[in-house]
Amino acid sequence: MYKIYTIKNKIVFSSEMIILFGLLDKLPSEPPHCYNYKGVSRYGDVVNWCVEHIEYVDNIKSADFVVLPYKFKGIDDSIFQLLNKLTKSVNKKLWCFYNDDDDKVYKLDDNVILFRTSFYKSLKLSTEKAMIAFSPDYYNNKISDNISIGYCGYYTAFNKRFPGGIFKGRAPFLDYLQKCKIPNDFIIRRGFWAPGINKTVARKEYLTNMEDNIFVFCYRGAGNFSYRFYETLMMGRIPLFIDTDCVLPFEKLVKKSEVGLFLNEKDIISGKINLEHELINYIEKYKKHFNEMQKNNRLLWKKIYSPVGFLNTIINTEKLQ
């Protein structure tokens, strides 16, 4: 059992706070889109996992590590400051969680670990770790034989500067891929979360699009991370991931070439690499292994990118003190 100290009367349960769910009798109620078709929450078996692996102690000195009791609010937050000071005094680590589009750089003391979704590898601090994004498990145990690129979502054309270059948005890539030799299966929405379409219908179309294609185009959203990347692995498909200086959780545990095709956005925009050529070469090299790769990606999601997998992995890979 791992021992966690937190300020229990300050807890606010949210997606990033799954490590504290063992203090709940049942999972928190959420909107319908946070459950799969069988009514299973996106958090799966997190409560039972926490009960089996974690003891929530009232004495900070007996804890293996300390957890901020709610979503990280920044370094000016009074409870964060209190726990930061306390953990320093007893030589403990303070774990904070932040599922958010915010990519601001926070100067944190060495005793703090901030697990976050949106930040940049070129600006990453030693106190920052990548965390997963949470979606329900819709896997139907299906394998696709269709060597094509799927995408269902918003067609965006951003033009803003961000650390490391110009954020071109996904629109130029979607335009390009529609003209490539590799078949595509794109469903373009008029805005975020399919405005004007019944959400149940939109979700089903989104998932069917993933099921029907071996590759899924994955690109950042408002934050510098991709929900679709985790959903692609959850569905047992192969990501075509355009890297915008992202940080993926547990990168050292993943051999990217065996998971999908990961290409640097700046290399594509500068002409250093040709997206279509990279796709064709990747398909030629791995097409005999696509069925196996789809199965392995599903297993990878379960092992380290599902909620329980994420908790297991951070507990086993981080230094607790």
Checking DSSP bridges between strand 149-154 and strand 160-162, what pairing results, if any? unpaired
Per-residue pLDDT of 114-139, as tens digits, reads 999 999 999 999 999 999 999 999 99
- The residue ranges of every structural domain in the chain are 2-135+306-317, 149-303
| Closest by CA position to 239, among listed 181, 193, 296, 162 | 296
Alpha helices by DSSP H, the chain: 46-53, 78-90, 171-178, 199-212, 227-234, 265-270, 275-286, 290-300, 307-317
pLDDT in tens, 207-245: 999 999 999 999 999 899 999 999 999 999 999 999 999
C-beta separation of 265 from 168 below 8 A: yes
pLDDT digits (tens, 9 = 90+) for 152-173: 998 875 544 444 444 468 888 9
Q: Which residues pair with 208 in a beta bridge?
A: none
- Any bridge partners for residue 149, and if so which? 184, 215
What average pLDDT is seen over the chain?
Answer: 93
For the residues 281-285, what does the mean pLDDT come to?
A: 97
CATH 3.40.30 fits 149-303, yes or no: no
First and final CA of the chain: distance in angstroms?
Answer: 15
- Three-state DSSP class for 175? helix
pLDDT of the residue at 195: 83
**Whole-Å CA distances, 152 to 14, 33, 217:** 27, 16, 9
What is the model's pLDDT at position 63? 97
